[in-house]
Chains A and B, each alone.
Chain A
């Protein structure tokens, strides 16, 4: 199984940038890096994904290390609505293996 390692929890002040790290040292060449988040009492929702290059979308940015063994999800300005559990996932052939995720607390 493709494995990822994330810190259990992180805190951020509202309107500050947040960098959520993920290690995936066993990544293979065909694995895509996906990030999802889960708000309380909801199913996970897509945040961003990438293969080799850094990616940006309206929600976040994804910075991928050159050796692809780690990545960082960047929320540019944290809001209270961003408080959630963030999962970093390696996807080969549409098979997701979720790690324990990082619980993000946003402090007003």
Chain B
């Protein structure tokens, strides 16, 4: 079974630009979560999508948004990039929206904002 894939793996943008990151979950998984990882703040929860609906949202500004498609693939978008948005963005998928579900993480997208 193929794991969670994220594209692109590396990205360089400049301040003020916007970026879209993509995540393909494991086949059959309907929940996709996004996380931001930085050396200073650690791993922070961004949002979770299940059946094309955002079910949970972390404490991030509105510049961070996402969506999920009918095939469970998900995208996250960051508009008006700031230097502080430089981070590793991780996507995780799970079978369903339940607290006992295991989450499977992808390798991440490394975003650098110059």
Q: Which residues of A contact B (CB under 8 A)?
A: 30-32, 34, 36, 42-46, 49, 51, 87, 91-101
Query: Which residues of A sit under 8 angstroms from B35, Cβ to Cβ?
Result: 96, 98
A and B contact pairs by CB, cutoff 8 A, 23 listed: A30-B99, A31-B99, A32-B99, A32-B100, A42-B107, A43-B4, A43-B106, A43-B107, A44-B92, A46-B104, A49-B100, A51-B100, A91-B100, A93-B55, A93-B99, A94-B48, A94-B50, A94-B96, A94-B98, A94-B99, A94-B103, A97-B45, A101-B42
Partner of B102 from A46, A87, A92 at Cβ < 8 Å: A46
Looking at the assembled complex, report how far the CB atom of B68 sits from the nearest CB atom of chain A, in whole angstroms: 13
Query: Which residues of A sit under 8 angstroms from B90, Cβ to Cβ?
Result: 43-44
Known pairs A94-B56, A96-B35. 7 more at Cβ < 8 A?
Answer: A36-B103, A43-B92, A43-B107, A91-B99, A94-B99, A94-B103, A95-B56
Separation of A34 and B103 alpha carbons in the complex (Å): 10
Separation of A45 and B3 alpha carbons in the complex (Å): 12
Q: Is the interface of B mostly helix, strand, loop or mixed?
A: strand
Q: How large is the interface on B (under 10, 10 to 19, 20 to 34, 35 or more residues)?
A: 20 to 34
Query: Which residues of B sit under 8 angstroms from A87, Cβ to Cβ?
Result: 43
Asked whether B13 is an interface residue with its Cβ less than 8 Å from the other chain, the reply is no
Query: Which residues of A sit under 8 angstroms from B104, Cβ to Cβ?
Result: 46
Query: Which residues of B sit under 8 angstroms from A94, Cβ to Cβ?
Result: 31, 33, 48, 50, 55-56, 94, 96-99, 101, 103
Query: Which residues of A sit under 8 angstroms from B43, Cβ to Cβ?
Result: 44, 87, 98
Closest to A45 in B: B105
Asked whether B27 is an interface residue with its Cβ less than 8 Å from the other chain, the reply is no
Would A100 and B42 be within 8 Å (CB), given that A31-B99, A45-B105 are in contact?
Answer: yes
Separation of A45 and B92 alpha carbons in the complex (Å): 10
